[in-house]
Structure 1
């Protein structure tokens, strides 16, 4: 029993057991020292010779008094036992109550540390617990957590600085390469080999540029969402993404099915959530069969907003599908298809979903194809929230 439950419960049971055990020992000692056992006194008339004629009456009177005294002692003993049982019950209740109070007082500093640590995220790593008080084990724990937060903050800052500097430094030579290709192609009579080489290099440059964008977006999503959250409709985001890729859907002959059952609103970064939906639509188009189908469903309730994107295709292995949320994970060339794929699409989706406190579920459909379900916390417009609060 002591191994399960919370620390407060275990402390309460330990303290209560200690208090109750001490009370039981005290009651037992009181019992032993009270001398409740009765001793039968010797008969004062035993051994006496024959006396006056009233001797039998006196003996009868003594026996009667002795029985009355034994009955009185028996009643006192029963009352004492009853009083001890009541004292044990009261002591057990008081032991539990006192144990809970003491456990709460002992664990109160740990609760404060836990609450303060939960409030600290990637966006406010500069905050510290700053626990004051005597230099005991609790303060040592708080100082250790503060040291850990300081190291985490330094690591996050260094990573952000590296990503920003690397993207800036890499874009400069990419722009130079593009300009050099444009100059070579713009010559009056470029060689045929030069044109072919320029086309291949431009494709690779576009791929590197796309990869850089993916790295930057993945880094931003993994470091949390900015405070400027806005109210967004998953249905509207899905329509915008599908409208932007309409020519690609038609060019591949895909059958598109859109089911928007509710507004399904949520709060978050407009740029990140828009990219989330775009990546899911891009993934459904790029990794689909010619003449296949895509199903996009949006619904929600008071607590959750859901977006589901399904595609047909060959039967996939669930073990491989579970790894698609990691960077550069693919299901082989037959699945990836497009050479322009960076392998970051679903990993970016997973990071954005986690940053918004949602869930991402990837399932291989038994009939073939992939089902991607995104669940985010639901949100209502300010006017609706105020109205609901007034009605409540």
Structure 2
């Protein structure tokens, strides 16, 4: 792919060389024509016999100097014009190299503000929308482009802040009525309506979980509000210790290496929780779940129903369910995982296991080498942090 800088260099060099070549060729042709026209009016010199060689310069006995005769004027003109064409070709070659170098430098200087705008756009995310290009220099088209981009960032920052405030307010306004409803159900309903009471409590908890999942999904899609070093291996162990009680007959094992990632500890905890919960929920009786944290990747592998390869993309879509489980979820677990991973600059990969089950891997970007510590892998159960 040819860059704009290369194209501008070629355009500058091409125009410069075209002008130079036209100028030099025109001068040579006019010079040749003028010389031939002028010598046409000169008297024709007497021819010199070729059999009488004359020394370049010699002195006669009487003191007179004998010089060689001058060449014929037409041949002299041809020699001058030929020399002029040789100098022209050499000059064009030198100008070609000079024009390429100068064109490359000039194009780079002209495109420097564009590179600055591009670098700022690549660096921006929802967590650092406060940055601006703040391009200085003459009031030209590039300055206008940079100012327009800064104005767009300012509007986007205000919009994101408004959405974050809405999420916080909605979290409070939605959770409070549900907590009141749950308290009314637990306290107000008598014991003889236990089936109705349990069903109401079940739907109340499910609604709370759905609201929590939607709020976490919205928060993850709007970037990280806070970020810092997080020991991901400790989060994995805490999540596995909490998941032991609800794993039932599913065996959960883990192999972790200490790993520090830069991010939000609350969102990372939710990422690990959703991965483990999904692996336990979508499993078969007596199945297994293997959690591995090594090489900058968190991998969760489980047994369970067969997952068609063409349906892997649906796993990360909100409210998509491939299988019906005993405890039906909201269909947001893996979409939340994907959003949290994206907010942390990580990638999520999914692949079906032979014989059933799924392998999900969250690959984090390599960070500061000082955050890595090489230790012997530890293998332990879900309840052994």
Which of 235, 238, 241 is residue 237 of structure 1 equivalent to? 235
User: Aligned-pair distance for 1:276?
Assistant: 1.1
Which of 291, 311, 316 is the aligned partner of 2:302?
311
Tell me, in whole angstroms, the C-alpha distance in 2 between the residues paired with 1:115 and 1:86.
42
3-state DSSP class of the match of 1:172? helix
Task: Say if 2:93 is the partner of 1:89.
Answer: yes
Q: 1:383 to 1:270 in 2, by over 3 A?
A: closer
Tell me, what secondary structure is at the counterpart of 1:35? Answer: helix
Which residue in the other structure is 2:376 paired with? Answer: none
Structure 1 position 70, deviation (Å): 6.5
1:76–1:170 CA distance, 2 compared to 1 (3 A): same
The residue aligned with 2:284 is 289
- With over 3 angstroms needed to count, the CA separation of the structure-2 counterparts of 1:12 and 1:82, relative to structure 1, is same
Q: CA offsets, 1:110-133, max 9 Å, x none?
A: 223233334443233244434455
CA contact (8 A) 2:258 2:372 kept: no
Cα offset, 1:220, TM superposition: 2.1
1:212 is aligned to 211
TM-score normalised by length of structure 1: 0.80
Task: Tell whether the 8 Å contact from 1:232 to 1:268 is kept in structure 2 after alignment.
Answer: no
1:323 aligns with 2:317: no
- Given candidates 180, 186, 210, the residue that maps to 2:184 is 180
SS in 1 for 2:364: strand
In structure 1, what is the equivalent of residue 381 of structure 2? none
Q: Assess, with a 3 A threshold, how the Cα gap between structure 1 residues 277 and 58 changes in structure 2: closer, same or farther.
A: closer
Give the stretch that moved more between structures: 341-350 or 77-86.
77-86
Determine the C-alpha separation between the residues in 1 that align with 2:331 and 2:238: 23
- After TM superposition, list the pairs within 5 Å mapping 1:1-392 onto structure 2: 4-35=1-32, 75-185=79-189, 187=190, 190=191, 192=192, 194-234=193-233, 236-249=234-247, 251-252=248-249, 254-260=250-256, 262-300=257-295, 305-333=296-324, 336-339=325-328, 341-379=329-367
After superposition, give the CA deviation of every residue in 1:166-189 in whole Å (9 maximum; x if it has no partner): 22111221122112112223x4xx
Per the TM alignment, residue 378 of structure 1 is displaced from its structure 2 partner at its CA by 3.6
8 Å CA contact retained: 1:265, 1:378: no
| CA RMSD across the alignment | 3.2
Aligned residue for 2:29, secondary structure, equals: helix
1:306-333: CA deviation from partner (whole Å, max 9, x where unpaired): 1111122333222321122222222142
SS of the equivalent of 1:259 reads strand
Q: Deviations over 1:269-311 (max 9, x none)?
A: 22221221111111100011112222222211xxxx0111112
Post-superposition CA distance 1:135-176 (Å, at most 9, x none): 432233223223322331232122212222222111221122
**Alignment check: 8 A CA contact 2:9 2:107 kept:** yes
Q: Is the 8 A contact 1:276 1:349 kept in 2?
A: yes
What TM-score do you get using the length of structure 2 for normalisation?
0.81
CA distance in 2, matches of 1:355, 1:264: 18
Q: In structure 1, what is the Cα distance between the partners aligned to 2:244 and 2:17?
A: 76
What are the superposed Cα offsets for residues 240-280 of structure 1, whole Å, 9 maximum, x if unpaired? Answer: 2222212333x22x3444333x4333222222212211111
Provide structure 1 residue ranges, at least 5 long, that are not aligned to the other structure. 47-55, 386-392
The CA distance in 2 between the partners of 1:103 and 1:226, in whole Å, is: 40
Q: Does structure 2 retain, via aligned residues, the 8 Å contact 1:231–1:379? A: no
Seen in structure 2, the aligned counterparts of structure 1 residues 294 and 182 have a Cα distance that, compared at 3 Å, is closer
1:84-112 alpha-carbon deviations (Å, 9 max, x no partner): 22211111111111211221222122223
Cα gap change, 1:59/1:277 in structure 2, threshold over 3 Å: closer, same or farther? closer
SS in structure 2 at match of 1:224 = coil
Q: Distance in 1 between matches of 2:131 and 2:71?
A: 81
5+ long unaligned stretches in structure 2: 54-67, 374-385
Q: Is the 8 A contact 1:272 1:352 kept in 2?
A: yes
Q: For 1:8-47, what per-residue CA distance to the aligned partner results, in whole angstroms no more than 9, with x for missing partners? A: 121111111111111111121122112078799799599x
CA separation in 2, counterparts of 1:133 and 1:384? 44
